[in-house]
Amino acid sequence: MASAALWRRGAARLRSCRPSRGCAACRDVVPTCERYAVRRLPFARLGERDVAAFERLMPGRVVTGEEEVKAFNVDWLKSVRGCSQVVLKPQTTAEVSQILRYCHEKNLAVNPQGGNTGLVGGSVPVFDEIILSTALMNQVISFDKVSGILVCQAGCVLERLNEYVEQQGFIMPLDLGAKGSCHIGGNVATNAGGLRLLRYGSLRGTVLGLEVVLADGSTLDCLTSLRKDNTGYDLKQLFIGSEGTLGVITAVSILCPQKPKAVNVAFLGCQSFAKVLETFTTCRAMLGEILSAYEFMDEKCMELVERHLKLSSPVADSPFYVLIETSGSNSTHDEEKLSNFLEQAMASGLVTDGTVATDDKKIKVLWSLRERITEALTHEGCVYKYDISLPVGKLYDLVTDMRARLGQSAKNVVGYGHLGDGNLHLNITAESYSHSLLDAIEPFVYEWTARYSGSISAEHGLGFKKKQFIQYSKPREAVVLMQQFKAMLDPKGILNPYKTLPSAP
């Protein structure tokens, strides 16, 4: 077990949340693995003069108390932990600029942090990096009711934004299980996917402009509200998905679709994954433009949700479950199309049982069966999480092969995700962390994914945990070019170090 002295020296390790097995350094986090160990780069160490300088810049918004800082040092899964001594809470882009200019001059490393809902260790420090939290940058700057274009600060919580634009007759193009706490800036920085991607596409298409503060404190104002701007390189795309390693996103311009007048959700049971796929093909053909989500989960996911969260499924004893959402402007038209699809699916044996919800309360109940799977899994002990893109036809084969490979060494191997866009969430649980179990999973899971031309990260990014595996999804030439971009925009490497990219040779 790691000692407090080891943590003070800044030894980074992967950890697993087991509150009952505390250590001297942290009562609810336990060291579990040496494979992610990295050496601290030669950044300056925070001193009293630095803290005093930040206090002068933003009085009352510099957090240094050990207990107060602790929550910012540990990720949502409690799987990785840093040892930062200070959290800065700017309210304006100008303050972010002054912070980064100071840190660049003093060679102080910075960890940008939004809602801290990431799952790959990208949102918390590895060592003692200064945490720059966007929590107070939560203002809506403007909203155009004609075009549906929203401009807001990066710290706005996704759910609050959705509530705001709903009052204007629109919705956010992004929907996530973590919407109650994630920030739009973090969503953009990680190119979050979510539940609405099938209908509205990725953030790379819906984000129109960004305001970004670069590592040296200079501000890049590309906060356009134009849907068409074909002048030169599209610089915002560099920062979407860059995980805070190239600049700190401070404001976002995003295109919001109109709020659908009619929403229906069907929750169905299928006897095999082949039936899930065939149902999807039929679904797309018959529902067409009103199809907004197609999610699947296996029976083990449902068992965990029912056992740990006391939720009940309206469809019993099915090897696979499918959640289909439609969104349109005419309830009669949409319900007729959905009814015709369900009749076809039942008559042809694709679906064995199902239920439909049309009112908001029942819709939320059905969605909770899918959205809260991650929460249910945290009750199972140590969770190994993988976020994979694959050709849709191969999506569940990875789960089957992993079960066969791990056998009794794993407690559960479950699969669920956004089948409509080929995104599998593979989760493996065990009573406690096992080095040998992780060796059996990695790099096998990445080799398997690469064999079928998939991506090792569909929507969560690479962060700290996956950066050393990037070669399974990107050729060497692409990685070298990314490193060159990093060196150009952040020559001292102070922005979110140890994340996303392997160290340059």
Positive or negative CA dihedral for 305, 309, 313, 316?
positive
Q: Is 294 helix (H, G, I), strand (E, B) or coil?
A: strand
Instruction: Give residue 476's pLDDT.
Output: 95
Q: Are residues 265 and 356 in contact, defined by beta-carbon separation less than 8 angstroms?
A: yes
Q: What is the CATH number of domain 140-255?
A: 3.30.465.10
pTM of the model: 0.89
Instruction: Give residue 504's pLDDT.
Output: 66
Is the predicted pLDDT of residue 25 greater than 80, yes or no? no
Give the distance from CA 474 to its chain's centroid.
Answer: 20
Is the predicted pLDDT of residue 96 greater than 50, yes or no? yes
Question: Once rounded to an integer, what is the mean pLDDT over residues 324-351?
Answer: 95
Is the predicted pLDDT of residue 336 greater than 90, yes or no? yes
Instruction: Give residue 334's pLDDT.
Output: 94
Question: Once rounded to an integer, what is the mean pLDDT over residues 221-237?
Answer: 94
Assigned CATH topology for domain 32-133? 3.30.43
Question: Once rounded to an integer, what is the mean pLDDT over residues 420-424?
Answer: 94
pLDDT in tens, 264-279: 999 999 999 999 999 9
Q: Grade residue 463 by pLDDT with cuts at 50, 70 and 90.
A: very high
pLDDT in tens, 29-44: 333 334 566 889 999 9
Question: Once rounded to an integer, what is the mean pLDDT over residues 397-425?
Answer: 96
Q: Are residues 110 and 41 in contact, defined by beta-carbon separation less than 8 angstroms?
A: no
Which one has a higher pLDDT value, 1 or 290?
290
Does this chain's domain 32-133 share its CATH topology with 262-452? no
pLDDT in tens, 436-462: 999 999 999 999 999 999 999 999 999
For residue 416, give Cα distances in angstroms to 213, 294, 317, 323, 396.
37, 11, 17, 11, 9
- The dihedrals phi and psi of 140, each to the nearest 5 degrees, come to -80, 125
Is the predicted pLDDT of residue 351 greater than 80, yes or no? yes
pLDDT in tens, 121-170: 999 999 999 999 999 999 999 999 999 999 999 999 999 999 999 999 99
Instruction: Give residue 77's pLDDT.
Output: 83
User: Would you list the domain boundaries of the chain?
Assistant: 32-133, 140-255, 262-452
Q: What is the CATH number of domain 262-452?
A: 3.30.70.2190
The Cα 443–Cα 81 span in angstroms is: 23
Q: Grade residue 12 by pLDDT with cuts at 50, 70 and 90.
A: very low
The Cα 250–Cα 92 span in angstroms is: 8
The two beta strands, 291-298 and 412-418, are: antiparallel
pLDDT in tens, 371-403: 999 999 999 999 999 999 999 999 999 999 999
Instruction: Give residue 384's pLDDT.
Output: 94
Instruction: Give residue 38's pLDDT.
Output: 84
Instruction: Give residue 35's pLDDT.
Output: 57
Residue 36: other Cβ atoms inside 10 A: 18
The Cα 316–Cα 318 span in angstroms is: 6
Instruction: Give residue 503's pLDDT.
Output: 79
